[in-house]
Amino acid sequence: MSLIKGLTKTILYVKDIDTQVQFYRDRLGLEVKSSLSIAGRNDKQWVEFATGECTLVLHGNLAAQHGKDRPKLAFHVNDIQTAYKELSDRGVKLSPIRSPSPGLQIAEGADPEGNPFTIDCQS
């Protein structure tokens, strides 16, 4: 049985969320699935586009963060504690599990070339 259940999100970190949303929505014609933001906090904007099984996410950033602003892959797991332990046992280095929003738990890692990914579990 596979530990990873599927690629659920590709996250692009962007500087100008409004321009990027306009491009993907109005020019490419992608449908906005959801949009979250905290008033006055451009760095906390999150816009999800319906793109089939894998969701395209734009994550607004105020300033570029070298090495952290490249696309990130998000993989779904059914049980984050079990997945965390199994992946760690396989030599995958992961951040501590955290909950960035209610009902969501994630742990972050990187592949051998430094490309970031997360494993996530929603309750």
Q: Long-range CB contacts (< 8 A, 24+ apart) of 102-105? A: 105/80
CATH number attached to the domain at 6-122 = 3.10.180.10
pLDDT in tens, 56-97: 888 886 566 655 678 888 999 999 999 999 999 999 999 999
Instruction: Output the CA angle 25-120-111, nearest 5 degrees.
Output: 90
- What is the distance, to the nearest Å, from the Cα of residue 1 to the centroid of all Cα atoms in its chain? 24
Any idea where the domains of the chain sit in the sequence? 6-122
Angle CA 1–76–17, to nearest 5: 160
User: 19-46 pLDDT, tens per residue?
Assistant: 888 888 998 888 999 888 766 665 568 8
Give the tokens for residue 68: 């952290």
Distance (Å, rounded) from C-alpha 80 to C-alpha 120? 7
Give this prediction's pTM.
0.72
pLDDT of residue 20: 87
